[in-house]
Amino acid sequence: MTSGLLPKMLTGSDFLNIHSRSAAKDTIDTMRQQGISRALLHNFAGKPSVALEGVKAGYFFSFPPAVCRNQQRDKLIRQIPLEHERNEPANIAVSCCYIAKVKGLSPHTVQLVTAQNDQSDTELTRFNGANTS
């Protein structure tokens, strides 16, 4: 990523929406170095330890309904605090039910918290992260 380019692209209320295929650690490290404080890592598939670095930076994570088809991300879903998860409205029912099952919560609780995480932010800036591996 070009140094300093991303912060200049964002306004104060924008979220950077990232799909970092096979580049989770590099993506989070780069966003932190660039001063990105508002990001949504969509369909995150990195290691839980890397995700927790993103949580520390204040980033959010989303999981599409595809996570319901295999349990590879269950440990990751368990470790990311619900307050750092957001889901798109079209997928919320399916994703919330699965996340609730993995976390041992009610689907209603997951839906409420992830909806609250989304309410304060109305704009998403879409950026397809490059595979830096």
Q: Kindly state whether residue 7 falls inside one of the protein's structural domains.
A: no
Total structural domains in the chain? 1
**Whole-structure pTM value:** 0.70
Q: Kindly state whether residue 3 falls inside one of the protein's structural domains.
A: no
Distance CA 79, CA 12 (A): 29
- What's the pLDDT tens digit per position in 58-84? 999 988 888 888 788 899 999 999 999
Count of all residues that appear for the chain in the document: 133
Q: Kindly state whether residue 132 falls inside one of the protein's structural domains.
A: no
**Mean pLDDT rounded to a whole number for the chain:** 79
- Residue with the larger pLDDT of the pair 8 and 122: 8
Confidence band (pLDDT; 50, 70, 90) for 7?
low
Q: Kindly state whether residue 36 falls inside one of the protein's structural domains.
A: yes
Average pLDDT over residues 36-65: 91
Residue from 79, 19, 90 nearest 55 by CA: 79
For position 44, which CATH number holds?
3.20.20.140
Helix axes 48-56, 24-33, angle to 10 degrees: 20
List the domain range (segments joined by +) for residue 57.
14-127
Please tell me the least confidently modeled range out of 2-16, 50-64, 82-96, 110-124.
Answer: 2-16
Question: What is the pLDDT at residue 41?
Answer: 92
Structure tokens at 22: 């096979």
Q: Kindly state whether residue 26 falls inside one of the protein's structural domains.
A: yes
